[in-house]
Amino acid sequence: MTEQALRVAIIGSGPSGFYAAEYLLKSSGVPVYVDMFDRLPTPYGLVRGGVAPDHQKIKSVTKVYEKIAAHPNFRFFGNVEFGRDLRLSDLQAHYHAVIYAVGAQTDKTLGIPGEDLPGSHPATDFVGWYNGHPDYRHLQFDLSQERVAVIGVGNVAMDVTRILASSYEELACTDIADYALEALRHSRVREIYLLGRRGAAQAAFTNPEIKELGELAEADLIVDPAEVELDDLSRAWLASPHAEPKHAKNVELLKGFAARPPQNKPKRVIVRFLVSPLRIDGQGRVEQLTLVRNMLVAAPDGDVKARATDQTETLPVGLVFRSVGYTGVALPDVPFDSKRGVIPNDHGRVLEGDHVLTGQYAVGWIKRGANGIIGTNKPDSIETAKLLIEDAAAGHVWQPTQPADQIEALLRERGVRCTTFADWLKLDALEVEAGAAQNRPRVKFTQVEDMLAALEADRETDALPGD
């Protein structure tokens, strides 16, 4: 590695981090070396820990990231936590710049009474749990309850609803965590309310998500025809720049489901619009959810908003999952906008007040907020990476005093057991092999200790003398 090379650290290994790495590694001019760090031993962020287990096609995007990781100037350091194992001062000493690609790690709260009662959960907890994320595998959810409310109508809410409503056979052929599959096998959940704050036209879910919900083996999708009749405001909204083609298609699909008679399946998914949660009540745990009926009103910018009326109703539910958006979490020594849940930035350049911080950049959800799909991150990451290249050409980056090659030794001195991308490929092969034996895509490692032990066992096997 020459002193003329540009050395960049990326914190986080989800889609936005990989797309930034791809642009940097392909950039012309000086050679670029990228070191990517992740808190977990495994890469891919929400593609591994957030995408629903029955959405294998979406997960195939990791093949693109594998090719990026194969670049000779790319290194992956897993099981390394920024702020604990690696500090900002370390990065400044070894790199010209850092890109924060840490996503939005937690849910927004509802801010209503009873939200913290046992039985009320953030959707991210449930998603991480059924996906085998090491941070969430220890959680428990009372699936003995027959009625559940899922608050929100984005794709995450749809995933949570679909997993709860799926049959054992539908889940058994996915890469859902083994313990979650077993718990859901014995679930007594029979009725799931999917609750939207605005109208059917404004629902955030995508067309495939609502289609899937209407095709489950053991659940009827119940849509009240009156709930999908559009008022003049919604019709005008669908013709406005605020609406996307998916919104009109969603209404069409919902009307089709509303006209379809129930097939008396053992479970029911009941979709409701124009309702907001007022409070959660119960004696020591969730027992009911009080909703307020909303009406749509025009906003000054041409959008529509929900306004509460004086009409309320109560749903008898024993579980509540909130899915009203993700928010970022502050990083040590890095500026943070707690109101927006992002690192403050100007098109990716990190800001402290109105001042641009040299050498620090952001991409993805921690840059722009939690919106968009996996592909949305590519142009977002390219925008930031271009600015980093421009700043480097102008000399507006850090001036490292230590070679990046010493990072590995520094982490080893601190007792950090790093994993490499080659290590991940070994874990990947072991998971896929275990899955093949059960006709599943993979059987996941769900504990960091098990991942490290499997790698150690693999090394010991490799070290054995040949015949």
What gap in Å lies between CA 24 and CA 150, rounded to an integer? Answer: 40
Beta 349-352 vs 120-122: how paired, if at all? Answer: unpaired
Q: How many helices (H) and strands (E) does the chain have?
A: 17, 18
Query: Within the chain, which residue ranges are assigned CATH 3.40.50.720?
Result: 6-105+328-419
Q: What is the mean pLDDT of residues 111-132?
A: 96
The fold adopted by the segment(s) 6-105+328-419 is Rossmann fold (3.40.50)
Residue 100: what residue type?
Y
Summarize pLDDT for 256-289 with one digit per residue, the tens.
999 999 999 999 999 999 999 999 999 999 999 9
At 405, the pLDDT band (50, 70, 90 cuts) reads confident
Res 175: pLDDT: 97
Reduced to 3 states (helix: H, G, I; strand: E, B; else coil), residue 149 is strand
Res 465: pLDDT: 59
- Residue in the block written with tokens 């025009």: 298
Question: CB–CB of 20/11 below 8 Å?
Answer: no
Query: Within the chain, which residue ranges are assigned CATH 3.50.50.60?
Result: 107-325
At 403, the pLDDT band (50, 70, 90 cuts) reads confident
**Backbone phi, psi, residue 294, to 5°:** -105, 165
Res 302: pLDDT: 85
Structure tokens at 181: 């599959």
Res 107: pLDDT: 87
What gap in Å lies between CA 35 and CA 11, rounded to an integer? Answer: 9
Structure tokens at 421: 């991308």
What gap in Å lies between CA 425 and CA 11, rounded to an integer? Answer: 20
Q: Give all strands of the β-sheet with 288-298 in edge-to-edge order.
A: 275-281, 288-298, 304-315
Q: Taking the complete model, does pTM exceed 0.75, yes or no?
A: yes
At 460, the pLDDT band (50, 70, 90 cuts) reads confident
Please determine, for residue 131, whether its predicted confidence score (pLDDT) is greater than 80.
yes
At 28, the pLDDT band (50, 70, 90 cuts) reads confident
Summarize pLDDT for 411-435 with one digit per residue, the tens.
999 999 999 999 999 999 999 999 9
For the chain, first and last CA: distance in Å?
A: 39
- Residue in the block written with tokens 């009873």: 114
Summarize pLDDT for 108-117 with one digit per residue, the tens.
999 999 999 9
Summarize pLDDT for 144-199 with one digit per residue, the tens.
999 999 999 999 999 999 999 999 999 999 999 999 999 999 999 999 999 999 99
% of the chain surpassing 90 pLDDT: 91
Among candidates 280, 274, 279, which has minimal Cα distance to 195?
274
Please determine, for residue 93, whether its predicted confidence score (pLDDT) is greater than 90.
yes
Handedness of CA 405, 408, 412, 415 (dihedral sign): positive
Res 1: pLDDT: 37
Q: Which residue has the higher pLDDT, 38 or 462?
A: 38
Question: CB–CB of 20/99 below 8 Å?
Answer: yes
Please determine, for residue 294, whether its predicted confidence score (pLDDT) is greater than 60.
yes
Please determine, for residue 401, whether its predicted confidence score (pLDDT) is greater than 60.
yes
Please determine, for residue 395, whether its predicted confidence score (pLDDT) is greater than 70.
yes
Res 464: pLDDT: 56
Q: What integer best gives the mean pLDDT of the chain?
A: 94
Q: Which of 67-81, 417-431, 452-466 has the lowest mean pLDDT?
A: 452-466
Superfamily the domain 107-325 falls into = FAD/NAD(P)-binding domain (3.50.50.60)
Q: Please name the helix (run of DSSP H) or strand (run of DSSP E) that holds residue 461, with its range, or none.
A: helix 448-463
CA distances from 172 to 54, 132, 183, 440, 441 (A): 10, 14, 12, 7, 10
